[in-house]
A and B are shown apart, each in its own frame.
Chain A
Amino acid sequence: MATTDLAAVLERDEDGALPVGLTLLAGAIAAAVLSPLVWVVANALEADGAVSLLTAPTTVEVFINSSVLVAGVTLGSLVVGVPTAFLTVRTDLPFKRGFSVLLAMPLVIPSYIGAFAFVSAFGPRGTVQGVLEPYGIESLPSIYGLLGTVLVLTLYTYPYVFLTTRAALKSMDTTLVDAARTLGHGRREAFRRVTAPQIRPAVAAGALLVALYTLSDFGTPSIMRYNVFTSVIYSVYGDVLGGGRDLAAMLSLQLVVVTTIILAIESRVRGSGVTAESPNTRTTLIRLGRWRWVAVAACLVVVVAALVVPLTVLTSWLAQAGQPTTGRLAFELSYVTNSVAVATAAALVSALAALPLAYFAARHNSRLASLFERASYVGYAVPGVVMGLALVYFGSTYGGWLYRNGLILLPLLVFAYVVRFLPQAVGSARTSVQQVSGRLPEAARTLGRTPTGAFRDVTLPLVAPGIAAGAALVFLTTMKELPATLMLRPAGFSTLVTRVWTAYGSGYVGQAALPAFVLLLVSGLSMLLILRMEGYDVE
């Protein structure tokens, strides 16, 4: 059986030396995970006139557009996320518990669904314009372009800042603020000199997550017709004759480089904050006085824009879907089963790949082990559209007959998911392996168990819940992945996500409603799982 073989390989290390089997296994997984990066670089090097492409007007424009978008969304997220976090932790804001939940909820809505909803509501000939038409309003300010994209992405990414800031505020020792007050500082002054420096790393970490998400998001800029790396790569990659392939390859490499830089900064910032060992969290809440209703109104505006608008729009689509429709676009069960099938495969493969990496990193304090574990984080640096592109090139170059007949696409798709979301599985598995003391398998050995037996009877049952949680997370994230699915799915293979995409694209929004609701449900579940794993509490 595979698990027992694996176990025998994993546990053979009485000497403290690196076990050869485990090292090779972890190394092979790390190499496989890194391989898409190789294709990205190779493709860019092969591109004709790489240097001229690098400085071509399109490339420069895309780079500038992307930078402006990232800056705008990050700034917007800070403006929304930090004050709302402060209000829900440190003040007597009414309905605090409710707002703590509601303000985190937008994370549940995949940004492309949000974008669809906004375009549908505020676009030309959209719902809002339709309602206003009798009053002589012929057109609204355009929702397309930079402003719309910034608006939508901000609404669905500010919760990263909101959550990290809340966590920092809650773990901060509030006696520090009291100390500052007794040393002659007013509230404002105390915030500036004591609170702000303490929460700054957490705020920065949240902001960098926003920047990473914005940079790699494909759906929103595509829908909002704004030319950034992801949307341009997707729109030109199929255009082989027009040199689109070369442009896509160059842009992919640039995007990976920029993402990696942000990722590197993020990993520096993360964990640099000071948290009190046992924080004194008994706080005196700031009284908002007559400002409290202004604060409530501000929070409500955010909640309405980010949650009520898309939910209303989706519901109205559902009403349209109630009308009889023709067969091809009708909601089919196969979309659900296809989605579940690929997500299950991705989850299982991720769990199997994560265990050796996590075990190796948690049990062996060696450079090699942490190098292999780091390799698994490549998924964060390779946006879905780049991953899709790299694997399409790989398949078309080396897939031969298998590729032409579409047989290799599903395995490639699952591989793309695994590489993209492996960090989630490894993180969860690593934590659970670390929580199992090395003495436990040793105790089993002294009680007569072989290395395999000790792994099977002690280590595995104890790490299984963590592995399962990681796999569940991969499952749920895979369900809502958009760009790699679009690029790698075999002809005729539709999932919930591709269904939403094509239904909206062809104007039959009613058909997108049901799959979109299913995706919201899936997304909500994954959010609950993450928050539970990180111990989020709404108090």
Chain B
Amino acid sequence: MSSELREPDGDDRNAESQRDEQDEPSGHPVLELDGVTKRYGNATVIDDLSVSVREGELLTLLGPSGCGKTTTLRLIAGLERPSGGEIRLNGRAVSGETFEPPEVRDVGVVFQEFALFPHLTARENIAFGLDEMDETARTDRVDELLELVGLVDHGEKQPGELSGGQQQRVALARSLAPEPHLLLLDEPFSNLDVDLRVEMREEVRSILKEAGVTAISVTHDQEEAMSISDRVAVMYEGQLEQVGTPEAVFQQPRSRFVASFLGHASFLSGRVEGDVVATGIGDIPTTSIDGLAPEYDGTDIDVMVRPDDVTARRPAPDELANGEVVHRRYLGPTVLYRVRLDSGDVVGCMHNHAEEVPLDEPVTVSLAAEHDLAWFPRGSHNRPRRADD
């Protein structure tokens, strides 16, 4: 069963809104974007974007560079004004008819390059947003945050004396200090070394969860998005392609863009014939295709397979080959093969490095997936709504 079918309640809502809101944690929306649009001159950077974030969740905006995700963050923070639509924080409109400047929004931001004030110490940086507190309360709060991010001994250092990971933690502590309603993180790990990045990912998630803050982060790194987020929102060319849990977005991509952006998907062209789909690797039962409605019988569809869903091997004596290996990339623990099927499709297959398949030899590709496969009607960018939507 797919995770979407596990949706517990919400069955009384209309199908339209249910789609985007399934898998959402309960709680009231902290942030709502409603048809937000941003244009610079003639270029539309954000196009009619609507999404909401619930209290306590961590949503990640994921997309290739230039898809408008950082601009979205800046619109939420009030560092840019939208050209259309409305932004609401806790139900209060902050951008749209009216415009609230960033200083009154109560939204914290961790900038990509951290933006620590170089003329202030770590403590002074963290205390920067606390000037309405009295002296002792401020000192206590700063101590508390240094403790939270594990920098108790580094409070008196200047940003230049701190390592990348430490600067990251000071930036996080500084933005958390005034207890914002919402925290925004712009590519928070891109300025760190690869080794540190994985470590800080775990750490930042646990700090955010401990602080109980609602947060939106932005990244182009799908692995990062999958590993830290409660929900992922995939963006492409200023539009929202799909919002859902990491599992849902990965396993049931709603558009070809989401499918190919997450995990190198290839497509098998097929034709629905009764209770099977005829493809270049043989017939696939329709029960293995996720939510294929009866009205698609007799039509052409594309079935999505990821490299770990299919295997290629030398044909057994009584078997016919259905393709040939055209490319082989050795990745260490695994080997990625590209196989051109006799039907004309090219699929990627991931194998354990021990399973050698020779280049330019006929092979038999077969399905190895134990989960239902996603599919798209031929020529359509998006998946159709499912019968149970």
A449 to chain B, nearest CB (A): 6
A445 — which chain B residues lie within 8 A by C-beta?
A: 78-79, 101-103
Partner of B129, one of A14, A447, A461: A447
Contact, CB under 8 Å: A448 / B111: no
Interface residue ranges of A1-51 to B (CB < 8 Å): 14-16
Partner of B115, one of A14, A440, A448: A440
A461 — which chain B residues lie within 8 A by C-beta?
A: 119
Contact, CB under 8 Å: B107 / A446: yes
- How far is B79's CA from A451's CA once the two chains are assembled, in angstroms? 11
B56 to chain A, nearest CB (A): 21
Closest A residue, CB atoms, query B79:
A442
A367 at the interface (CB under 8 A from B): no
Q: Which of A439, A442, A448 has the most CB of B within 10 A?
A: A448
Partner of A16, one of B80, B115, B119, B175: B80
Closest B residue, CB atoms, query A462:
B119
Q: With A445-B103, A448-B129 in contact, do A437 and B119 touch (Cβ < 8 Å)?
A: no
Closest B residue, CB atoms, query A458:
B117
Question: How many residues does chain A have at the interface if contact means C-beta atoms less than 8 Å apart?
Answer: 21
Interface residue ranges of B96-132 to A (CB < 8 Å): 101-105, 107-109, 111-113, 115, 117-119, 128-129, 131-132
B15 to chain A, nearest CB (A): 38
B103 — which chain A residues lie within 8 A by C-beta?
A: 445-450, 453
B77 at the interface (CB under 8 A from A): yes
Interface residue ranges of A452-472 to B (CB < 8 Å): 453, 457-458, 461-462
Closest B residue, CB atoms, query A445:
B102
B217 to chain A, nearest CB (A): 15
- How far is B113's CA from A440's CA once the two chains are assembled, in angstroms? 10
- How far is B102's CA from A444's CA once the two chains are assembled, in angstroms? 9
Partner of A447, one of B80, B81, B112, B128: B128
A442 — which chain B residues lie within 8 A by C-beta?
A: 77, 79, 102, 109, 111, 115
B323 at the interface (CB under 8 A from A): no
Partner of B128, one of A15, A437, A444, A462: A444
Closest B residue, CB atoms, query A439:
B115
A443 — which chain B residues lie within 8 A by C-beta?
A: 109, 111, 115, 117, 174
Q: Which of B113, B117, B174 has the most CB of A within 10 A?
A: B117
- How far is B108's CA from A350's CA once the two chains are assembled, in angstroms? 38
Q: Which of A440, A444, A447 has the most CB of B within 10 A?
A: A447
B70 to chain A, nearest CB (A): 11
- How far is B117's CA from A453's CA once the two chains are assembled, in angstroms? 14
A270 to chain B, nearest CB (A): 30
Partner of A14, one of B80, B104, B131, B175: B80
- How far is B78's CA from A448's CA once the two chains are assembled, in angstroms? 12
- How far is B107's CA from A415's CA once the two chains are assembled, in angstroms? 47
Contact, CB under 8 Å: B107 / A14: no
B178 at the interface (CB under 8 A from A): yes
Contact, CB under 8 Å: A15 / B81: yes
Contact, CB under 8 Å: B113 / A446: no
Partner of B118, one of A444, A447, A462: A462
A449 — which chain B residues lie within 8 A by C-beta?
A: 103
B330 at the interface (CB under 8 A from A): no
Contact, CB under 8 Å: B80 / A439: no
Supply 23 A–B pairs (Cβ within 8 Å), ascending by A: A14-B80, A14-B81, A16-B80, A439-B115, A442-B77, A442-B111, A443-B109, A443-B117, A443-B174, A445-B79, A446-B77, A446-B79, A446-B102, A446-B108, A447-B129, A447-B175, A448-B103, A448-B104, A448-B178, A450-B101, A458-B117, A462-B117, A462-B119
Interface residues of A (CB under 8 A from B): 14-16, 437, 439-440, 442-451, 453, 457-458, 461-462
Question: What are the 6 closest A-B residue pairs judged by CB atoms, nearest first?
Answer: A447-B129, A439-B115, A445-B102, A443-B115, A446-B109, A439-B111
Known A437-B115, A447-B178, A457-B128; further 10 A-B contacts with Cβ < 8 A: A15-B80, A443-B111, A445-B78, A445-B79, A445-B102, A446-B77, A446-B79, A446-B175, A447-B129, A448-B178
